[in-house]
Amino acid sequence: MLIEFRRQWPFVAGLWAMAGFFGGSVLAAQTPEGTGGIMTPAPDAEAAVQSEYDGVTRKGTREAYERFIRRHPEHPLAQKAREMLAAGTLR
């Protein structure tokens, strides 16, 4: 076992060196400002719901409004969707 390790040592040492070169503090220095790491900030959930509602109004079908209500039943825009359904002017 010791003989095999000696033959593999240059390879293992090379992997450790590459890991130190490509990882660690090098990547930490390249993180976007204000993110606290290499991950991007989470998307704005409110903007996503608003965008989805905008798509529903463009589509303008009963099915689209019902789907929006099922996906976001407690959101204030769901009440607007319910009002549109109650008005009965959808396709």
The DSSP secondary structure of the chain, one letter per residue, reads -HHHHHHHHHHHHHHHHHHHHHSTHHHHTTSPTTSSSSSPPPP-HHHHHHHHHHHHHHH--HHHHHHHHHH-TTSHHHHHHHHHHHHT---
Tell whether 39 is covered by a domain.
no
Average pLDDT for 70-90: 92
Q: What is the pLDDT of residue 9?
A: 58
Could you give the dihedral angle defined by the CA atoms of residues 77, 81, 84 and 85, in that order, rounded to the nearest 10 degrees? -160
Tell whether 69 is covered by a domain.
yes
For the segment 3-59, what is each residue's pLDDT rounded down to a tens digit? 555 556 566 566 555 555 555 554 455 666 666 666 666 689 999 999 999 999 999
pTM of the model: 0.55
Q: What is the pLDDT of residue 26?
A: 47
Tell whether 35 is covered by a domain.
no
Residues 6+ apart with CB under 8 A from 91: 60, 61, 62
Number of domains in the chain: 1
The domain in which residue 75 lies consists of 2-27+45-87
Tell whether 37 is covered by a domain.
no
Please give the residue that has the higher pLDDT: either 1 or 44. Answer: 44
Closest CA to 53 of 45, 64, 43, 44: 64
Q: What is the pLDDT of residue 73?
A: 95
Q: What is the pLDDT of residue 20?
A: 57
